[in-house]
């Protein structure tokens, strides 16, 4: 929205002079619309919405489901986004797959578009490619990352 208005769901939350995102500036988090739409499966961070449906499946299945919904698997690119992912994992007590893997080249983790990751939050000792079969990335309720087999069935978490 324009400066001074109350903001809306369509407001992408561009950062202004205050350094706060539009969502914070406009107190979107306090609005009943925000509370209703994000309870208990979603989080809004800046211009990104993370949302789970509660569905569980393997990496290919979850990747496909997010794309069919017009989004993609959660791909946190900074601490704030990772904290939002962590909160959903914690709330549901189920870990999620990220839209990050090293299927193409072992040891080189990329986003789904093939670009190298710009942010990570590995658990100490990870990624360890345990048994040589771990090309996908799961998030624990601590927010820390572990490489895991893409054949595991985890909770879906998409970003829009």
Between residues 92 and 144, which has the closer beta carbon with respect to Ca ion?
144
Contact between 147 and Ca ion by CB under 5 A: the answer reads yes
The residues pairing with 72 across neighbouring beta strands, listed in sequence order, are 159
Contact between 130 and Ca ion by CB under 5 A: the answer reads yes
Burial classification of residue 135, based on how many CB atoms lie within 10 Å of its CB (0-12 exposed, 13-18 middle, 19 or more buried):
buried
What is the contact mask toward ligand GMH in residues 88 to 127, using x (rule: CB under 6 A)?
--------------------------------------x-
d(CA 135, CA 140): 16
d(CA 63, CA 25): 33
135 binds, among ligand GMH, Ca ion, none (CB under 5 to 8 A by kind): none
Which residue in this structure is represented by tokens 């909160």? 87
d(CA 116, CA 119): 9
Closest CA to 42 of 87, 95, 7, 96: 87
81 binds, among ligand GMH, Ca ion, none (CB under 5 to 8 A by kind): none
Between residues 111 and 122, which has the closer beta carbon with respect to ligand GMH?
122
What is the contact mask toward ligand GMH in residues 140 to 159, using x (rule: CB under 6 A)?
------x-x-----------
Name the residues that contact Ca ion, by CB under 5 A: 128, 130, 134, 146-147
């Amino acid at each position: 929205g324009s400066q001074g208005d109350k903001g809306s769901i369509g407001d992408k939350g561009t950062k202004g002079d205050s350094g706060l995102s539009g969502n914070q500036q406009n107190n979107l988090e306090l609005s009943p619309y925000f509370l209703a739409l994000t309870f208990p499966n979603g989080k809004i961070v800046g211009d990104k919405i993370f949302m789970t449906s509660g569905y569980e499946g393997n990496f290919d299945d979850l990747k496909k489901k997010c794309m069919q919904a017009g989004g993609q698997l959660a791909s946190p690119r900074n601490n704030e986004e990772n904290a939002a992912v962590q909160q959903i994992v914690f709330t549901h007590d189920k870990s999620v797959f990220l839209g990050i893997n090293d299927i193409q080249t072992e040891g080189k983790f990329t986003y789904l578009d093939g670009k190298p990751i710009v942010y990570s939050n590995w658990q100490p000792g990870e990624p360890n490619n345990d048994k040589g079969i771990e090309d996908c990335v799961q998030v624990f309720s601590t927010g820390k990352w572990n490489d895991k087999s893409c054949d595991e069935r985890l909770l879906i978490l998409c970003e829009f």
